[in-house]
């Protein structure tokens, strides 16, 4: 209540301790691992297997297209959010999707282990594509589960951090450890082991907590929301249907474009396949406009109609039946999450989307050029890059996530988001220094004794420079990532968490994908040093936007009488 003195809460260490011993936290770590393992196996390690099987680079390029399933996951997020799987509703609103997807992924990995990539490439690619869609669907449900189960004993900030820890551990297991295992027992056996792990996680996931908001009957909840659409003061059905038709056509066109592109890429001869770069650059922006920008504008117009009292029912309309009943349900699944999002945030959504577009863009577009920079430009060996990036680097990210989790608890979400953004921007200067010889990094490594330590384990000063650079960046990524996921989770409504979170996370991936072509051209024309200076400025711009978002939350908290700027409305 405004004007009252806030009671002193428990210490940050006590809150952190309670959260880490909570049952929900344990399952969050498990689900984070289950989320990261398929991504590493389908979009990373799989290419090493294909290479040893002598599959040509052109075909491997086509395989990389399965990553579109992650970038466009928001297109079927309404299905995950509102549709029940027959016979599985007892598992809970989110688990009814999480557990079957994990079991399906485990079965796919086991089946892949029985195939020979070179001679059975058709089945191999089909299963990998299905696996990518199942993995992306699992991610939608897991992100929604994290938001739904969060409470005072298991805060959203801590759950978001634990999720990323599990995800990064899976990257290590599916990446570096997967390579080590395959070197000794072979790729089929390695994928068999990974499949068995996911099958085990799926079985354990049956016992995960069910979110309080998801414990009720989904069908009853859906019917209640649909009936509410016909109450006095709601948008008249005819106007809603027209808006639904436009949004439905836009999403259908986007889905159709992606499906046609993927089918042509997987079925046509190499000479006739569409150019992935051209598709991303030419069609990608229009897909974003069709699936996010225009629907958001339509949702904003609908929200404005309600505020103005225009096109509203003056009395309760008759209950929907038949086709109208189906249309109301479709509106509830597809359009209502956008209307709630835009209506609640208003013009603040522009600022929020600006943060989403810029805060992680450096990480999103840089990954594709990391190995060319390490191996081709700096002439490091594969072993050196594996040690610095896959082992030391993953450890630095996990350390950053742990530090970020403590900062979220002790210092607050927006402060951690700000610090993470500053560190992520500044660490680009480490790469800029490395690109011109690494003089400053060498001084740090030598004077701190790190170079000496690396030499004791068979490395050299050159490797020490790379480890300092990657370690510094990944530590910053861990802190920034913990804060970013927590912040993004906090601005969505629990009623529509799957759709709204999928939209925001997909937007991050799409912008990163679209930026790679331009970044690659800039590297070729101006060199790596200029690019790292440029990405530093992007990071600084993102910090400025975070400052504005922090000010917005403080202002919103002051106007509502709340005592902390980190509390954001969730239904």
CA distance 88 to 101: 12
CA atoms in the 13 A half-sphere facing the CB of 150: 24
Name the residue range of residue 76's domain. 10-210
Q: Are residues 352 and 372 in the same domain?
A: yes
For residues 134 and 188, membership in a common domain is answered with yes
Classify residue 474: in a domain, yes or no: yes
User: Do residue 307 and residue 280 come from a single domain?
Assistant: yes
- Residue 46 domain-assigned (yes or no): yes
Long-range contact list for 311-315, CB < 8 A, 24+ apart?
Answer: 311/235, 311/236, 311/239, 312/232, 312/233, 312/234, 312/235, 312/236, 313/230, 313/231, 313/232, 313/233, 313/234, 313/235, 313/236, 314/232, 315/232
- Measure the CA–CA gap between 557 and 567, rounded to whole angstroms: 8
Phi, psi (degrees; rounded to nearest 5) at 547: -60, -40
Question: Could you list the mean pLDDT of each consecutive 10-residue stretch along the chain, which spans 571 residues?
Answer: 44 55 86 92 79 68 68 78 81 90 95 86 81 91 88 82 87 82 87 95 91 48 72 88 92 82 71 71 79 86 87 81 80 83 85 87 70 79 79 87 88 92 92 91 90 87 91 91 89 81 77 64 82 89 94 74 43 46
In a domain, 1, yes or no: no
Asked if 117 and 20 count as a contact pair (C-beta separation under 8 A), the reply is: no
Among the listed residues 518, 504, 487, the one whose alpha carbon sits nearest the alpha carbon of residue 291: 504
Q: How far is residue 372's CA from residue 252's CA, in Å, rounded to a whole number?
A: 37
The token pair at 230 is 């016909």
Same domain, 568 and 521: yes
Sign of CA dihedral 384, 385, 388, 391: negative
pLDDT score for 368: 61
- β partners of residue 235: 312
Number of neighbours of residue 517 by Cβ within 10 angstroms: 16
Count of CB atoms within 10 A of residue 83's CB?
A: 15
Which tokens belong to 486? Answer: 């927590």
Q: Let me know whether 434 and 364 are in one domain.
A: yes
- C-alpha 332/C-alpha 148 separation (Å) is 19
Sequence-separated (6 or more) residues with CB below 8 Å from residue 392: 467, 470, 471
Total of domains in the chain: 3
Give the pLDDT confidence of 400-450 residue by residue, as tens digits. 988 988 898 888 889 999 999 999 999 999 999 999 988 999 899 889 999
Please provide the size of the chain in residues. 571
Largest CA distance in the chain: 80
**8 Å CB contact between 436 and 469:** no
pLDDT of the residue at 234: 86
Q: Tell me if 340 is assigned to some domain.
A: no
Q: Which residues contact 448 (CB under 8 A, 6 or more apart)?
A: none
244 shares its domain with 197: no
- Of 157, 175, 210, the one marking the end of a domain is 210
Q: What tokens were used for 45?
A: 């390690």
CA distances from 131 to 140, 472, 544 (A): 14, 34, 39
Query: What is the rounded distance in angstroms from the CA atom of residue 443 to the CA atom of residue 202?
Result: 49
Same domain, 364 and 275: no
Burial of 461 (0-12, 13-18, 19+ CB in 10 A): middle
Distance CA 214, CA 496 (A): 11
Residues 227 and 141 in one domain: no
**477: CB partners within 8 A, 6+ apart:** 363, 397, 400, 424
Domain assignment present for residue 551? The answer is: yes
Task: Match 């191999």 to its residue by tokens.
Answer: 124
- Last residue of a domain, which of 192, 210, 228? 210
CA distance 207 to 310: 48
Separation of alpha carbons 524 and 390, rounded Å: 26
Within a domain: residue 4? no
Shared domain check, 562 and 534: yes
Do 44 and 60 fall into the same domain? yes
Do the domain assignments include residue 178?
Answer: yes
- Number of C-beta neighbours around residue 26 at 10 A: 16
The pLDDT value given to residue 107: 96
CB neighbour burial string for 320-356, b if at least 16 within 10 angstroms, e if fewer: beeebeebbbbbbbbbbbbbbbbbbbeebbebbbbbb
> What pLDDT does residue 59 have?
63
Instruction: Answer yes or no: do 385 and 421 share one domain.
Output: yes
Q: What three-state secondary structure class fits 235? A: strand
Q: Is the Cβ–Cβ distance between 135 and 39 less than 8 Å?
A: yes
Position 517 scores a pLDDT of 60
CA triple 97-394-423, angle to 5 deg: 100
Domain end residue (candidates: 334, 364, 396): 334
**Same-domain check for residues 238 and 321:** yes
Write the CATH number for 368: 1.20.1250.20
> What integer pLDDT is reported at residue 197 of this predicted model?
95
**For residues 471 and 456, what is the distance between their CA atoms, to the nearest angstrom?**
18
Q: What is the per-residue burial (b if ≥16 Cβ within 10 Å, else e) of 106-135?
A: bbbbbbbbebebeeebeebbebbbebbbbb
Kindly report the pTM of this predicted structure.
0.75
Residue 460 within a domain: yes
> Beta-carbon neighbour count of residue 397 at 10 Å?
27
Distance CA 396, CA 507 (A): 26
């Amino acid at each position: 209540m405004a004007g009252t003195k806030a009671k002193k809460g428990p210490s940050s260490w006590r809150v952190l301790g309670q959260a880490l011993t909570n049952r929900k936290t344990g399952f969050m770590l498990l689900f984070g691992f289950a989320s990261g393992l398929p991504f590493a196996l389908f979009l990373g390690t799989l290419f090493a297997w294909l290479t040893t099987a002598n599959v040509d680079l052109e075909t491997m390029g086509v395989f990389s297209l399965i990553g579109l399933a992650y970038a466009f996951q928001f297109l079927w997020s309404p299905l995950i959010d509102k549709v029940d799987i027959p016979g599985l509703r007892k598992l809970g609103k989110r688990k009814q999707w999480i557990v079957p997807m994990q079991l399906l992924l485990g079965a796919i990995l086991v089946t892949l282990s029985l195939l020979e990539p070179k001679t059975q490439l058709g089945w191999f690619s089909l299963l990998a594509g299905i696996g990518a869609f199942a993995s992306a669907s699992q991610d939608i449900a897991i992100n929604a589960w994290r938001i739904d189960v969060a409470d005072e004993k298991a805060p959203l900030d801590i759950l978001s951090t634990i999720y990323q820890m599990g995800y990064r551990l899976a990257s290590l297991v599916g990446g570096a450890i997967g390579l080590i295992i395959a070197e000794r027992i072979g790729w089929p056996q390695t994928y068999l082991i990974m499949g068995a792990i996911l099958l085990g996680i799926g079985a354990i996931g049956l016992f995960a907590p069910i979110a309080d908001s998801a414990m009720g009957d989904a069908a009853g909840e859906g019917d209640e929301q649909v009936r509410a659409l016909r109450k006095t003061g709601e948008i008249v059905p005819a106007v809603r249907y027209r808006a639904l038709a436009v949004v439905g056509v836009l999403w259908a066109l986007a889905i159709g474009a992606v499906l046609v592109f993927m089918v042509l890429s997987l079925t046509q001869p190499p000479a006739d396949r569409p150019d992935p770069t051209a598709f991303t650059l030419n069609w990608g922006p229009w897909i974003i406009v069709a699936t996010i920008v225009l629907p958001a504008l339509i949702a904003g117009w609908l929200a404005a109609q309600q505020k103005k009292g225009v096109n509203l029912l003056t009395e309760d309309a008759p209950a929907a039946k038949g086709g109208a009943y189906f249309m109301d349900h479709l509106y509830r699944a597809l359009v209502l999450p956008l209307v709630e999002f835009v209506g609640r945030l208003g013009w603040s959504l522009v600022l929020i989307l600006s943060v989403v577009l810029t805060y992680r863009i450096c990480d999103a577009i840089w990954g594709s050029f990391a190995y060319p920079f390490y191996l081709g430009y700096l002439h490091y060996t594969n072993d050196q890059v594996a040690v610095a990036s896959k082992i030391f680097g993953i450890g630095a990210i996990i350390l950053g996530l742990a530090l970020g989790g403590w900062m979220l608890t002790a210092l607050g979400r927006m402060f951690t988001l700000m610090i993470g953004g500053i560190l992520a921007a500044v660490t680009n200067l480490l790469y800029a220094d490395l690109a011109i010889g690494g003089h400053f990094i060498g001084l740090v490594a030598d004077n701190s004794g790190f170079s000496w330590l690396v030499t004791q384990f068979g490395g050299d000063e050159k490797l020490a420079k790379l480890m300092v650079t990657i370690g510094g960046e990944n530590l910053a990524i861990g802190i920034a990532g913990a804060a970013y996921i927590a912040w993004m989770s906090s601005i969505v409504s629990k009623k529509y968490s799957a759709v709204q979170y999928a939209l925001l996370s997909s937007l991050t991936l799409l912008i990163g994908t679209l930026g790679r072509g331009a970044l690659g051209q800039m590297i070729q024309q101006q060199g790596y040093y200029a690019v790292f200076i440029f990405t530093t400025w992007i990071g600084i711009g993102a910090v400025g936007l975070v400052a504005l978002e922090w000010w917005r939350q403080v202002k919103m908290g002051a106007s509502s009488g709340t005592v902390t700027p980190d509390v954001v409305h969730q239904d």
